[in-house]
A and B are shown apart, each in its own frame.
Chain A
């Protein structure tokens, strides 16, 4: 596809153009990044919803139900479903959309499978850019499903506006629920597969761990019992998400989150640019027996940016 045609098709809202542009952005190709740069101001104020949790808890099946609920409420819904790439071959088996058959019932739903490609935070490095593309395309709601995570893959927290942490009745006791990491990033907690034994106890564990939190808001995080298999309580989950979105919008939290995200992205890009730009100095330092701190300082001074001792102070 010629690039000009691709751009005009994208502006005509052709799905195939969005899909191809995602490929360009996912591959970090120049054309894709340039398109993002030039069209950044055309983004729609989408709501980004993150779904995370350990492997096999039913994230994709829940997304399937969310698609079914939200496709009727929103004009356009985009889904980004991430699965892991192999660290050995670079290949990936992307099987999330197997569970998302409801998407076929709606013309206004777009699902894209993305491989993590070496990124270890539960997303791919391209997820932020793909989300922006979907916003430029005009999606009202973007659902992002992470790879199956452990306790510490938390990139989703920074990429989305609200995070649903999905667990199962067997997810662990009250101490597990108190641990740092995954259990801290949920705006909403879901115990899925609640048709199995122990769901009520799991809910209690999560609620009791939330009771130790500092703010009232954190103490009162919604904890919901669902069964994607039996289609139980999904309506409730959807209304809780809507309520959360409304609260975030009214309190201004949503705006703050988006600003913070923007700032973080700028920093990430700066870091990347900086590292690339000092690359040429790295091998120019004579390999004497000096400390890495000293070496870094020496290289830094070569960039021409003013170096002050303050930089060594802790942030």
Chain B
């Protein structure tokens, strides 16, 4: 059986705008990945627990609420604590460029803003997977 890239798509925090997350989940499915979609209001603890149980390669978070500077680092911390920081943490939303830089320096993967082609995200994940998981 061919190995599949497994991705967790989640929406942390309180904002209810899940259109973007759904678009990404559909695009990654179309790219041949197995996408676990957990929906709204996920806490960092729940996200990491799901990632571990599902043994995903990648976590993609959609954040439009402005809470990215607290949520991404928190998820990273828990991943480290659980010795699961080999999982790629990426995501997108309304995130200013300087924040993207800061987050990437902390160890978050590439982040995607409005206007990104969904193909670009699938390609980024596939490339990362080929480099790190094969």
Chain A interfacial positions (CB closer than 8 Å to B): 15-16, 19-20, 22-23, 26-28, 85-86, 89-95, 97-98, 104, 110-113, 115, 117, 125-126
Contacts and interface: CB of A to CB of B under 8 A. Distances in A.
Contacts, number: 78
B38 A98 contact: yes
Given A91-B32, A117-B1, A23 B55 contact: yes
Contacts of A26: 1
Contacts of A98: 37-39
A19 B55 contact: yes
Given A23-B55, A26-B1, A91-B35, 10 more contacts: A19-B52, A22-B55, A23-B6, A86-B30, A89-B30, A91-B30, A94-B34, A98-B37, A117-B1, A126-B1
B84 interface: yes
A303 to B, nearest CB: 26
Nearest to A98: B39
A97 B30 contact: no
Nearest to B46: A104
Contact of A113 (B2, B30, B33, B36): B36
Given A16-B84, A20-B55, A115-B4, A97 B50 contact: yes
Nearest to B31: A91
Interface of B: 1-4, 6, 25-26, 28-39, 46, 49-50, 52-55, 82-84
Contacts of B34: 85, 91-92, 94, 113, 115
A270 to B, nearest CB: 20
A164 to B, nearest CB: 23
A110 B53 contact: yes
A90 B3 contact: no
A95 B34 CA distance: 10
Among A20, A92, A94, A104, residue most surrounded by chain B Cβ atoms (within 10 Å): A94
Nearest to B6: A23
A60 B32 CA distance: 24
